[in-house]
Amino acid sequence: MPPSLVTIERHIIEQQKEYPQATGEFSALLYDIAFAAKLIAREVNKAGLVDILGFTGEENVQGEQVAKLDEFANDIIFKALDHTGRLCCMASEEVKDIIPIPEQFKCGKYVLLYDPLDGSSNIDANVSIGTIFSIHRKISSGERGTLEDCLQPGYKQVAAGYVIYGSSTMLVYTAGNGVFGFTLDPSVGEFLLSHDHIQIPKKGSIYSVNEGNYFKWDENVRRYIDYVKTPDKASGRPYKSRYIGSLVADFHRNLLYGGIFLYPADKSNPNGKLRLLYEANPLAFIVEQAGGYASDGRQRILDIVPTELHQRTPLFIGSYDDVKQVEAFIQGQVE
């Protein structure tokens, strides 16, 4: 079957054969997420035409203005998955506490953590935005999910993925057996395999960071940015600067082309800005499966043991050699 005709459903079933112990439940969960992504894509792609742009006037748990599409995406994911019997609980960037499965529905053995629409501040400017998701197994003893089920380190993830709503809508996921990209064919409403076994170049030539924060960073981070900007043909410098300001879009470009994305801690964000559970962890799982690496500057992102649902982390993610190099700068190993 040519890749262009491999739907995500077919791919998930074929992947399931790799894991004889895998139940259809996990495959169905990924299918449910793909279904929610199609519904969100439909609204995102016509957002400019209907009254769904702009802000609701409310604030989310992050104290950020909630864009109408944010709220819509959050609701879509919840309603597409709350009754399926595959989840024991959920957690969303938009919701302060864990989201229980309604009493009337059966609970399942998986946990879904998600950022329904990352980069939403870019919505009105028609810049690519994305959904990010992370799946863990339930570990608590009771029938219904608890905070304990959500606060698991990233290396325990069963699967992770993102949807990027851009010039085309793509769903990229890993279940621990490689990274696969599917492009939505709106004419048939199917995600079709378009990127088989994505691998990120071991070293890139793109750095992606908000340099407006330069004077708020630690001195070693500033030295790294100065280093990548210093011309040196032998080491492929200066790197190209690319920053969209939408994590999924910046990550996706680097995943395909190589490079490093940085959101360091700074004086305004002493623990970094990005969220561990539903932003850094899923992207770290994906990038490691693609041969890259993700760090908070001192340790592997996937080894961090979470203590809070919405905790932040500094994030350095992308090509293996580049992330290892910025770690060496941060740890003072480079003069």
Q: Which is nearer to ligand P6P, 102 or 215 (CB)?
A: 215
Q: How far is the CB of 67 from ligand P6P (least distance, A)?
A: 10
- Name residues contacting ligand P6P, limited to 256-295 (CB under 6 A): 273
SS3 call for 47: coil
Q: How far is the CB of 247 from ligand P6P (least distance, A)?
A: 3
Residue whose entry in the numeric block shows the structure tokens 């506490």: 97
- Name residues contacting ligand P6P, limited to 115-144 (CB under 6 A): 118-119, 121
Q: How far is the CB of 94 from ligand P6P (least distance, A)?
A: 12
Kindly state whether residue 3 participates in binding ligand P6P, applying the rule CB under 6 A.
no
DSSP state of 216: G
Q: Which is nearer to ligand P6P, 118 or 149 (CB)?
A: 118
Q: Which is nearer to ligand P6P, 101 or 247 (CB)?
A: 247
Task: Yes or no: say if 256 and 198 are a contact pair by the CB < 8 Å rule.
Answer: yes
Q: Give the contact letters, 34-63, x = binds to ligand P6P (CB under 6 A), - = no.
A: ------------------------------
Amino acid at 98: I
Q: Which is nearer to ligand P6P, 168 or 210 (CB)?
A: 210
Cα–Cα distance between 191 and 211 in angstroms, integer? 36
Cα–Cα distance between 285 and 159 in angstroms, integer? 8
Q: How far is the CB of 273 from ligand P6P (least distance, A)?
A: 6
φ, ψ of residue 239 to 5 degrees: the values are -70, 160
Q: How many binding residues for ligand P6P (CB under 6 A)?
A: 8
Q: Which is nearer to ligand P6P, 73 or 101 (CB)?
A: 73
Residue 311, number of CB atoms within 10 A of its CB: 15
CA dihedral 70, 144, 9, 130 (to 10 degrees): 20
Among the residue ranges 11-19, 51-59, 113-121, 140-148, the one whose residues contact ligand P6P (CB under 6 A)? 113-121
Task: Select the residue interacting with ligand P6P from 65, 84, 199, 210 (CB under 6 A).
Answer: 210
Q: Which is nearer to ligand P6P, 120 or 157 (CB)?
A: 120
Q: How far is the CB of 277 from ligand P6P (least distance, A)?
A: 14
- Name residues contacting ligand P6P, limited to 222-251 (CB under 6 A): 245-247
Mutual angle of helices 24-45 and 8-18, in 10-degree steps = 150
User: Which residues, in sequence order, are bridge partners of residue 184?
Assistant: 191
Q: Which is nearer to ligand P6P, 119 or 201 (CB)?
A: 119
> What length does the chain have?
335
Q: Which is nearer to ligand P6P, 121 or 311 (CB)?
A: 121
What is the enclosing helix (H) or strand (E) of 135? Answer: strand 129-137
The gap between the terminal CA atoms of the chain, to the nearest Å, is 53
121, exposed or middle or buried, with CB in 10 Å at 0-12, 13-18, 19+? Answer: middle
Continuous H helices in the chain:
8-18, 24-45, 68-81, 147-150, 219-229, 247-257, 281-289, 320-330
Please report, as ranges, the residues that interact with ligand P6P according to CB under 6 A.
118-119, 121, 210, 245-247, 273
